[in-house]
A and B are shown apart, each in its own frame.
Chain A
């Protein structure tokens, strides 16, 4: 079995027993990236030399008998929205092309402190706005299951890198589903922790009241180990929660759902959901029931307004947050010929540097916040946010976790929705409520849709700071379902077919 198809937990074991070195593990993944990333395009930047030298350091520290973190020496891919001093950070935008941040995000710093080896920066929709990576200023990522299909977004690079065995672990950020929807369409695990459970310091802001860094992996335990590494209070983020990290690793090892009350959300299904998605979802619910969980149906009547509220709140915050890209202190500057004013240079730069979706959202936000429209749009959306939070509170009275499909369909074709923003937005129909309410949620693979053979994701939502429940349910499903990825050593779908031809 090659090093790249091993789970992070297995690699950690091999490394701890010194059966393999961090340099060998890192080199194997860098080779893998060289071999397949031309087809997948999961990475925007590969930090090969530094990765190898960090791996060498970890090996030396281990040889010296130093006590290292549980994932020390395991490589990790980092979504290009996190700053990592010395590595270009573009957020998938041309406006930040070549920008090298002078500081490191808390998420990446915790990876480094844990001895993990950042391999490079993964592709994403520009400033995390999109559900397909087609909004990346540097070209889309391809889903390894079918290279003609989307890997989800915005964190499609982080998800695709896992499936293509380019990295055993990756980190992402989830504002409306950017971790969970890519996980769903690639058959991987992706967790949006409780808002404030992971630090936003050094995460380039999209919508600050919603943005949540989180872990991605091929297995539930791997993802929990990564979660534990990056989560926890950070004084440098004023919205960081000062509370202990829930025992996510213990929950991932247990997988015991006996007596757990599982609430199926009535509103997240039916019309617009692919038959294969609903079939695999229903089967997974039945499996959990067989394993001793109690299944109840719950109603969250305001969830149908979540998408509308999100597409007002998020663009409003975007229009404010992205004002920082003003061509003055860093990033692109266009048209500074000595005659133009700062304001003209600013407009030219933003017109040239931002892609279409970013422009759309900034303009929607500008509209929603403008005088005369503020109460009707932004004000009403904030009220809907309250109603959605109340729906969750009511549902969590009768259920320990809520479940739904992660996204209504399997991976759609590249190009299929680019000219229809609203249909693209619907990919996040099931994931958005948890961002608005700030509770935790995750997507777990539950098999392939019979009609197209593509992965289906199962979303689990839990109350704030009960992130461990996500892993408990995810681990139960992983045990009950036949494995699609791990243990086979084989690649899924069309990347596998391409590989066989080599």
Chain B
């Protein structure tokens, strides 16, 4: 298996990261070496071994259903790249014809 710059471009697209052609060419062989190295996990991961997703044996933790104060709107919006009318202003999320 060899990871190509096209593969990296597809993955970067899924992760919403814009990469230049130079970055794709630089990252592809590096990622290939890393992925080849980490594939070792399959050597010992037999079917009879249960998976661990978390170090603690956790169950859901609930708090009391009581209303507590939220952060003030102005302090939440203070660091927004763009805000209007007490809301976050964002670029369009739908296509022109929608």
Chain A residues in the interface with B (C-beta under 8 A)? 99-103, 195-196, 209, 235, 238-239, 241, 302, 305, 308-309, 311-312, 319, 323, 326-333, 336, 338, 340-348, 350-352, 354, 356, 359-360, 362-364, 366-367, 370, 376-377, 379-387, 389, 421-422, 436-439, 464
Known contacts A363-B27, A384-B45, A438-B56, then 9 further A-B pairs from the complex at CB < 8 Å, ordered by chain A residue: A196-B56, A323-B16, A326-B16, A328-B81, A329-B88, A341-B95, A350-B17, A359-B19, A386-B49
Partner of B51, one of A332, A341, A347, A385: A385
**Residues of chain A with a CB closer than 8 A to B66's CB:** none
A384-B71 in contact (CB<8A): no
Selected contact of B34 from candidates A302, A331, A360, CB within 8 Å: A360
- Specify which of B17, B54, B61, B88 lies most central, judged by the most chain A CB atoms within 10 Å of its CB: B17
Contact assessment for A383 and B71 in the assembled complex, using a CB-CB cutoff below 8 Å: no
How far does the alpha carbon of A345 sit from the alpha carbon of B81 in the complex, in Å?
12
**B60-83, CB < 8 A from A:** 60-61, 63, 71, 75-76, 78-82
B44 / chain A contacts, CB cutoff of 8 Å: 302, 305, 383-384, 387
* Complex Cα gap A437–B56 (Å): 9
B86 adjacent to chain A (CB < 8 Å): no
CB contacts (< 8 Å) of A102 on chain B: these are: 71, 75-76, 78-79
Q: Give CA–CA (A241, B42) in the complex, Å.
A: 32
Q: How far is the CA of A385 from the CA of B18 in the complex (A)?
A: 33
Which residues in B have their C-beta under 8 angstroms from that of A439? 55
Let me know if B12 and A341 touch, CB within 8 A: no
CA distance A333 to B79 in the complex (A): 11
Q: Complex Cα distance A310/B82, Å?
A: 38
Q: Per-position contact with A for B33-66: 1 when CB-CB < 8 Å, else 0? A: 1110111111111100111111110101101000
- A341 near B91: Cβ-Cβ < 8 Å: yes
> Which among A329, A336, A350, A386 is the interface contact of B16 at CB below 8 angstroms?
A350
Complex alpha-carbon distance, A327 and B43, angstroms = 40
**B residues with CB within 8 A of A:** 8, 11-20, 23, 27, 30-31, 33-35, 37-46, 49-56, 58, 60-61, 63, 71, 75-76, 78-82, 88, 90-93, 95
Query: Which residues of B are found within 8 Å of A340, using beta-carbon distances?
Result: 91
The docked-state distance in angstroms from the alpha carbon of A438 to that of B53 is: 11
Alpha-carbon distance A302/B13, docked complex (angstroms): 35
Contact of A308 with B17 in the complex, beta carbons under 8 Å: no
Nearest CB to that of A389 among chain B residues? Answer: B52
Partner of A422, one of B33, B75, B79, B81: B33
A329 touches B80 (CB 8 A): yes
Hey, which chain B residues are within 8 Å of A195, CB to CB?
55-56
A308-B41, A370-B14, A381-B41 known; A359 vs B27 contact (CB < 8 Å): yes
Q: Which B residues are in CB contact (< 8 Å) with A99? A: 79
Known A308-B41, A421-B30, A438-B55; contact A345-B8, beta-carbon cutoff 8 A: no
Q: Which of A195, A367, A421 has its CB near the most chain B CB atoms (within 10 A)?
A: A367
Q: A390: nearest residue on chain B (CB-CB)? A: B49
In whole angstroms, how far apart are the Cα atoms of A333 and B90 in the complex?
A: 10
| Cβ of B98 to closest chain A Cβ, rounded Å | 11
Contact B71 A103, beta carbon cutoff 8 Å: yes
Which A residues lie within 8 Å of B75 (CB)? 102
Would you give the shortest CB distance from B91 to chain A, in whole angstroms? 4
The CA-CA distance from A437 to B57 in the complex, in Å, is: 12
Give min CB distance, A243 to chain B, whole Å: 11
Q: Which residue of A lies closest to B53 (CB)?
A: A382
